[in-house]
Structure formats: structure tokens, C-alpha cells
Chain A
């Protein structure tokens, strides 16, 4: 049996209580599923945030294989006051990865609960466990020749639908708003009870994955980006695989084109002429995902000058903004919509349309095309090689889908990033009526000065955007308390009241989204 070789303890837990809890975990899970040695825990410390690794270092990591074991874990945690941070696949890169939110928390890694419990090819639904990856689902669908299509985030192959949905992630297909497509959760509550949302509580019911609302209060959303329960099963809807998918790109030459692009896209998106979550990607994002590194153009510190960005744009045949969209349906449906898109673009009077035939076999078109047609890939990891050094934080403010809003957000973000010597590496994802403005704050973690600038930059982004009425929809664990403040005290009090009611011992992921009973709120 391995002995604890680290000196990390959970907050307010004594060494003897911790060791007693570890012994109980071993009885429950088997010694091989209780990791307490440094070497075993190093992979749980790989963070991309600027803070020291120590602040996100776990005291132990547990792997469970069943719902009953998860129930047992929370009962032991209650007994000894052990805070537990749950991850499903743990691949939430740039948001915290598999590291706990606070030093000393025990990570409950659900990677081994990886069964695809059910896929219904007629109703187009799925029910999965936390460790199921999109690649696993894709392989299952392909092997069984099911007429279904997946929607996923960019780290698709290794990420999973449960974790992504519970964190309200988005994808790039018509089903790209993943929480909207969620239908039925099973949760282990802090007291060990099992709660199923929607129709899941009705004995013998078979509508759990087809009807979301059930009866009375509908609580599904309350458990997302939250710490009120551990999700052990997730149901969701799958898109029927269309007979035709027609991915395409439109390249725009100038970064001042962003407002016009959004005004052009919005009516097509709202009317579902273009039904998928359209992406408008900036030049560095595009360059990095076709394997371009900053050092190939400059090794000078600081923000990359605009003239170099223009050179990259030219060398790599990119737009300053690159719009990716896809049409789906029968050949007749696609043809009609294609004509509408071409007509609207003609009316706009700018933008270079690129078809799949023209761009096939080239990056980044290929990986974008795959994302829009449900084929997992890992091409977007190229972002991490743009500047290198392992630092990445997603800054993700939302806005109305209006050109003027995007123009304003882009200019502000670029100005703040450049001021701190960092690059604007961003894209807009067009929701039905909103924009997810997703910016990867990339920096070099080996450089203490750059780490400090990245941290200051992220804080300033949050502050300046908030002053203009914008807030992010998701954030890494280092800044979660700060972002919670943006949404107001009343919301926080309600969230803490719920926490007190459901998890009075504060064992489930304290600090998640700023919810922690150790916070000094007057309730």
C-alpha cells in the first residue's frame, strides 16, 4: 500500500483525521484507487493559470467506479470534513484542468466511470457516465453505424459531454449550446442521496431523456457550474446526421470588419438559415491552429506588432477575421440556404467565400470543418504553441449579437492585452442571440514577469469589461470568486443559502463559482 509522501492537507483538517479518512477511502475504493504519493499527484497539478502550483495542489486523488462508491466517498467526506473536488475527464484546459480549486482538496476523478449507458438512434438521445469522452462516443456511433452527429468543444477527442455540459461549454454544430440539449441528470447529493432531475424520479418512467421539465421546480441548471451535487449520469440530445453537410468559410481582410460581419451573420443565424454556432476567428487563433509559432516571426518580448500580424495573414492565406459556418439537410435544403447566404454576402459587398472543395486538406479549415460536422480532433491545441510556456486562461465575456458590441469588446480586449505585452488570440462564437467572445490569454509560465503581467491583465480585463456592463460566463479556478462578485451580492447570498441547505459541511468543491461556506457572507 502506498504511503502518503506529500505534506498537503485539506483546509481545517487534522493530520490524524486525514489519515483516518484515507484509510476509509482505501476500504471503500481499494488502495489502487487512492492516490497519495507525489508522483501520482503531479498530473493533477498541471495548471495553466499564473498562480503558484501549490495553491491548486491536492492532498489526494480518488478514482471511483460506481455511483455507490461516489455515495460512499461523500459520506466519508462528511464524517471527516474533507473537501472533495470532482472532475469527469479532467480536461478543462485553461479553466483549471484536473487540479482542485483550492489547495488540499481531494480530487474525485470519475474517469473510470466511462460507460455509454444508452443511445437511442430513433429518439436521438444518449445517457452517459462522467468519464465518457467524445471520441468514445464517436467511435461507438461509427462502429454501430448510427445516423447521429455529435456536438463538442475543441478538445473533443479527450473531453467529454458530461463535464462540458455541467460547465456550460459550447460546441460548433446546431446543437452547440450543450446545456440546452441536456435532458436528465443523476446527482449524488452531499448527504449521499441520489437525485434525478426531470422525469428521472418517476419509477418505471422511460421519458427521462426526452422530456426535460418533469413536475414542479426544474433544478437542472442549479447544478451546473455549481457545487451542490456530483453528476454521475447525464442525458442529452443528439442531432440526426444530415444527408448533406456543407461547411464553408468567409475570409475578411480587415479587423475593422467585425461589426459588419456580425450584422451580416445575425439574421441568418436567428432565422436558422445558418443553424450552427458560427465562429468568427481572429488571425492569431487561425495562425496558431495551422501550426504557426510566434517565434517564427519574432522573438522580441511583448505583444506581436500589427505589421507582423498582417504578414502572417498574408503568408498563411488567412483573413483578419475568418467566419466558419455550415449548412445541413437534404441537398435541396442546403442549396436553398446556400443561395440565401451567397445573396446576403453579395449584399454585404465584402468577404471572400471559400468552399470545402477549395480548402479541403488545409488547416485550419479541416479541423473547423470537423468540429462543425461532429468529427473529434485535437488541432486546436496548436494555440498552446503560439507563444509557448504553458500559460493559458480563457477570458470569455458574453454580449448581444450586435456588430457594435463586438467591435467594442474586440477593441477593448486588444488594447488591454497589448498593454500588458500579450496578444489578442480570440474568436466569437455566435449563439442564437448572443456572442460568446472567447479569448485565450496565452503567456509563458517560465517567465515570472510575464506571469505577473498575465495575472494583472486578466484582472484588468474583468474590471474594465465589468465597468462597461459585460461579464464572463465561465472562468478558471483562480478567478472564480472575483467573477462571482460581478453578478451581485444577492445572487451570491442565494447561492450560499442553497449551499448551506444542501451541503452544510461544505464538502463539495468549496470555492466553485465563488460558492464556499467559509466565505464571510451574512445570509
Chain B
């Protein structure tokens, strides 16, 4: 990874956030809570096989050796029915996922109902021409934004990345790449890793290469209870 590029992106992100980005905890802390005291069970939610093979692979790669991960597949009311007792069960839990738009709406509504924290909320669109990413950041989302931005800039495809900063005095951030070319699903792999291991540097060398292109519209999130 080019350190200059990393520095450039860091500078483009909200001031003050950068210092936490690169010196953060490594992979071994991926499943620790923010205080670093106790392991927090991690649950991966995916809408379909393509998402699991890309985003999900990134999440798996972020797990510390021997780390456990529960996986829920599906969409709509069925997935909501599985997630609801988890959110309301009174146990600490971290849900990381990428699902379809309809399911995303339902999950955000349920997260609010249960008083959960949303560390990350992103909308993604990918087709054969480009990918677009629109992110609303909670706290701690800057490192994932950095990872996603870096990956997109390194890819050979067109992209647009926008991060709205509604809670901040800072301006919204946007990056764009105008290249043309085949779009891989690597962005989803990197994003999955970054969301599962907040603050950890993403080392592309250890990430699995994405297989098929990932096309469609998706909602990514990190929900904590």
C-alpha cells in the first residue's frame, strides 16, 4: 500500500479522525469491544451468496485466530425475525452486514427500536460501469471509510464515494475515480474487513481475492448492542 496515498486520503478525511486510523488495534482485536476488555460476539448478515463471497470473506479475514463468527443469511421479514431477538436479548453483540435495500430499511428501524448503536451505515450501488458509495458515519466509521476509499482508488474502475457528516461541522467528503474498466468485488472484501476490524490497517495481501463481480444495490452496516 502506498503510504503517500494513505496520507493523502487521511488528510482528506475529517480532521482529528486520522490519528486513530493507522495506529489502531490490529486484527487480534477485531472481536474486542471498544474498551478492549471482553470479546464481543460478532454476527455476519448477508443477503446473498455473492455478498457472502466478497463482503463476508473480508469479515472472515478480519477474525483473530480462533475467532468465532455467527452467520445469518437471507432477507426481508425472515432475516428480521432472526435478528430481532439478538438485538433485544440483552447481550453485547456486534452485527456486521451487507443486505438488500428492503432488508436494510427494516434493520435500521429495528436497531432504533432496540436502542442500538449504528457505527456505520452505507449505501452501495455497483454495476458494470461503476460503483457508488454513500456513507453516513457514526463514531469509529472513519477507518472503514479510509479503507474503502483506498481500495477504490487503487481499483481500475470508476467510482464515487461520498460520506455525509451530518453530526459534524466538517463538510461532506467525496472522492471519485473516472477510470473505465471491469469492476471487481474487491471493494466489498475490503469494506467487510474494515467494518469487522475497526481501526485495523487493511493488508490487501491477506485478503482473499473476490471472485465474480458484485452487482446490485446494497446497504452495509455495523450495529452494536
* Contacts from A to B (Cβ < 8 Å): 5-8, 32, 35, 37-46, 52-54, 57, 63, 89-91, 93, 97-98, 109, 111, 157-158, 293, 295, 299, 377-379, 381-385, 387-390, 444-448
Contact = CB atoms under 8 A, between A and B. Distances in A.
A5 B141 CA distance: 14
A364 to B, nearest CB: 14
Contacts of A93: 105
A443 to B, nearest CB: 11
A32 to B, nearest CB: 8
A382 B139 CA distance: 31
A15 B26 CA distance: 38
B101 A378 contact: no
A390 B139 contact: no
Interface of B: 76-77, 80, 100-106, 108-113, 115-119, 121, 123-125, 127-128, 132-134, 136-140, 160, 162, 164-169, 172, 215-217, 219, 224
Contact of A52 (B116, B118, B138, B164): B164
**Closest 3 pairs between A and B when the two form their complex, measured CB to CB:** A388-B217, A43-B112, A6-B167
B102 A40 contact: no
Contacts of B111: 43
A7 B132 CA distance: 27
A295 B218 CA distance: 13
Nearest to B112: A43
Contact of B77 (A45, A377, A447): A377
Question: DSSP majority for the B interface?
Answer: mixed
A447 B166 contact: no
Given A43-B108, A46-B105, A447 B132 contact: yes
B124 to A, nearest CB: 7
B124 A446 contact: yes
B167 A381 contact: no
Given A158-B109, A381-B102, A390-B101, A446 B133 contact: yes
Contact of B219 (A5, A43, A390): A390
A381 B76 CA distance: 8
Contacts of A299: 127-128, 215
Contact of B216 (A90, A295, A381): A295
Interface centre among B115, B119, B128 (most CB of A within 10 A): B115
Contacts of B113: 89-90, 111, 158
B104 A53 contact: no
A39 B224 contact: yes
B166 A90 contact: no
Contact of B166 (A8, A63, A109): A8
A384 B77 contact: no
Nearest to A4: B167
B73 to A, nearest CB: 16
A7 B172 contact: no
B28 to A, nearest CB: 23
Contacts of B224: 39
A54 B118 CA distance: 16
B188 to A, nearest CB: 14
Given A158-B113, A390-B123, 5 more contacts: A7-B169, A44-B112, A54-B172, A390-B217, A446-B162
A447 to B, nearest CB: 6
Contact of A38 (B125, B137, B215): B137
A104 to B, nearest CB: 11
